[in-house]
Amino acid sequence: MLPSPWFVRAITRVSDTLARLRRRIIPAQFAALELGTAGWVSHALAAFCELGVAGALQAKAQTARELAAAGYGHEASLERLLRSLCAYGVVRCDRSRRYTLGRVGRALTGADSVAAMIRYANAPWHTAAHGRLAGTVREGRSGFSIAHGEPLFSYLQRDREAGALFDEAMHAMSTVYAPAFAAAYDFSHCKTILDVGGGDGTLVEAVRARYPNLRTMVFEAPQVVQRVAADRPDIEFVAGDMLADALPAADVYVLSHVLHDWDDENAAKVLANVRAAMPDDARVLIYELLVQPPSNVWSQDRVSDLEMMAMLGGRERGIDEFAALAAAAGLRVARVIAARTSEAVIECVPAGSPSRLTARCDSATPE
């Protein structure tokens, strides 16, 4: 059960205020160094995931010696890795240096594990892109292209291991936000849903769990379809290029965390391609973070925007920017529905459609 958006906002505010208070109290150099070396901890967490230690500790509490004897690594180094993660709720240590999983560590095991996203975010080819951020800011092109000489999606197409890790990472992320998407919108009048750039179909599967008669389709890059389709026999996968190829007809088109991958020109192209395929009474659901007004408070869109800038040359957008993109593609924003995550569902309909169309799937059903 997801907490309500207002509760999450309130807690975020309180923790943000406490974090700012702490930054005011500790010496400024400490605060700067803590921020500037946070990546060391991220890499420790990624190593913890890569070594599979979470799975071992889920089975039983263990010492570094026991983990080393079972083949998880070098004893003294395991001890140092584990003790460094105690302060973050990843593991807990007792007096005999026996480690168990903490609350954060438990999020790295099981069907809802986000471990793949952490491995993706800390993979050497990923961090190389962020390492070029100053170059990105100077030149305005993605750190990924500067570091690797090609865009992320063509790299993922060439490097099967990197591509598979990306798919796993997107699956991990969609297990976090798919249930909130499915709960935010009333699909009861819709027969066919097409998720454009829908990865392995986790999002449409969450919708079908609530609407079992829905026909679910995913339009994806051919190499992704090749990797994931066999595991999802209930979903119809269509392989193609969302920028260029014709999309199948559907009642609802979903673009979840897709437009933020692209600059304005290409994002408008994707939307125009959807508009060209959709019947006049169909709608488009854009599921994205919304950029918040300028403030000194933490918000997820800021962090995700850095990732888009470094990896793809894309961007997070505010509602006015989405409205402009929609208008350029012959669509208009009909409604914005807050989901029980940081994302919103932005419902778009054909530009000339009467407003009664907006009422057809009107009652959003947040729980």
Ligand X SMILES: C[S@@+](CC[C@H](N)C(=O)[O-])C[C@H]1O[C@@H](n2cnc3c(N)ncnc32)[C@H](O)[C@@H]1O
Q: Which residues are catalytic?
A: 260
Residue of 54, 67, 108, 170 interacting with ligand X (CB under 6 A): 170
Q: By CB under 6 A, is residue 258 in contact with ligand X?
A: yes
Segment interacting with ligand X, rule: CB under 6 A, options 21-29, 47-55, 256-264, 295-303: 256-264
d(CA 151, CA 174): 23
Q: Smallest distance, Å, CB 197 to ligand X?
A: 3
Stretch of 11-19, 20-28, 253-261, 347-355 contacting ligand X, by CB under 6 A: 253-261
Cβ nearer to ligand X, comparing 102 with 197: 197
Q: Cβ-closest residue to ligand X?
A: 197
- The residues, any chain, with a CB within 8 Å of residue 241's CB and separated by 6 or more, are 221
> Min. distance of Cβ 258 from ligand X in angstroms?
5
Contact region for ligand X (CB under 6 A) — 67-75, 241-249, 273-281, 347-355? 241-249
Query: What is the rounded distance in angstroms from the CA atom of residue 26 to the CA atom of residue 66?
Result: 38
CA distance 81 to 335: 48
Whether 51 and 105 have beta carbons less than 8 Å apart is answered as no
Give the residue, chosen from 67, 82, 224, 310, that forms a contact with ligand X under the rule CB under 6 A: 224
For residue 354, which phi and psi values (nearest 5 degrees)? -65, 155
Characterize 197-211 residue by residue with b for buried, 16 or more Cβ atoms within 10 angstroms of its Cβ, and e for exposed.
bbbbbbbbbbbbeeb
261 is a site residue for ligand X (CB under 6 A):
yes
| Pairwise CA distance, residues 185 & 54, whole Å | 35
Q: Which amino acid is at 283?
A: R
Residue 47 · residue 56 · CB < 8 Å: no
Q: Answer yes or no whether residue 315 interacts with ligand X by CB under 6 A.
A: no
Stretch that binds ligand X, among 31-39, 129-137, 251-259, 340-348 (CB under 6 A): 251-259
| Chain residues 272-291 in contact with ligand X, contact rule CB under 6 A | none
Q: Quick check: 220 binds ligand X (CB under 6 A)? A: yes
* Binding-site member from 115, 242, 267, 268 for ligand X (CB under 6 A): 242
* Interface residue with ligand X, options 256, 273, 304, 341 (CB under 6 A): 256
Nearest to 289 by CA among 141, 202, 180, 129: 180
Q: What is the CA angle 317-314-38, rounded to 5? A: 90
Report phi then psi at 107, rounded to 5. Answer: -75, 0
Minimum CB distance to ligand X, residue 260 (Å): 7
Q: Say how many residues touch ligand X, by CB under 6 A.
A: 18
- 249 near ligand X (CB under 6 A): no
Q: Min. distance of Cβ 135 from ligand X in angstroms?
A: 23
Tell which one of 102, 197, 313, 350 touches ligand X (CB under 6 A): 197
| Near ligand X by CB under 6 A: residue from 126, 132, 208, 257 | 257
The verdict on 241 binding ligand X (CB under 6 A) reads yes
Interface with ligand X (CB under 6 A), residue from 102, 105, 143, 199: 199
**In the complex, least distance from residue 364 CB atom to ligand X, rounded to whole angstroms:** 19
Among the listed residues 201, 255, 192, the one whose alpha carbon sits nearest the alpha carbon of residue 224 = 201
| 150 vs 128: CA distance, rounded Å | 13
Task: Decide: 202 and 219 in contact? Cβ < 8 Å.
Answer: no
Q: Which of 19, 33, 87, 243 binds ligand X (CB under 6 A)?
A: 243
Shortest Å distance, C-beta 224 to ligand X: 5
Toward ligand X, which CB reaches closer, 54 or 255?
Answer: 255
Which helix (H) or strand (E) element contains residue 49? Answer: helix 38-50
Provide the strand spans (E) within 86-205: 91-93, 99-101, 192-196
Q: Which 3 state secondary structure label does DSSP give 8?
A: helix
Rounded CA-CA distance 323/332 in Å is 7
* Interface contacts to ligand X, rule CB under 6 A: 153, 170, 173-174, 197-199, 203, 220-221, 224, 241-243, 256-258, 261
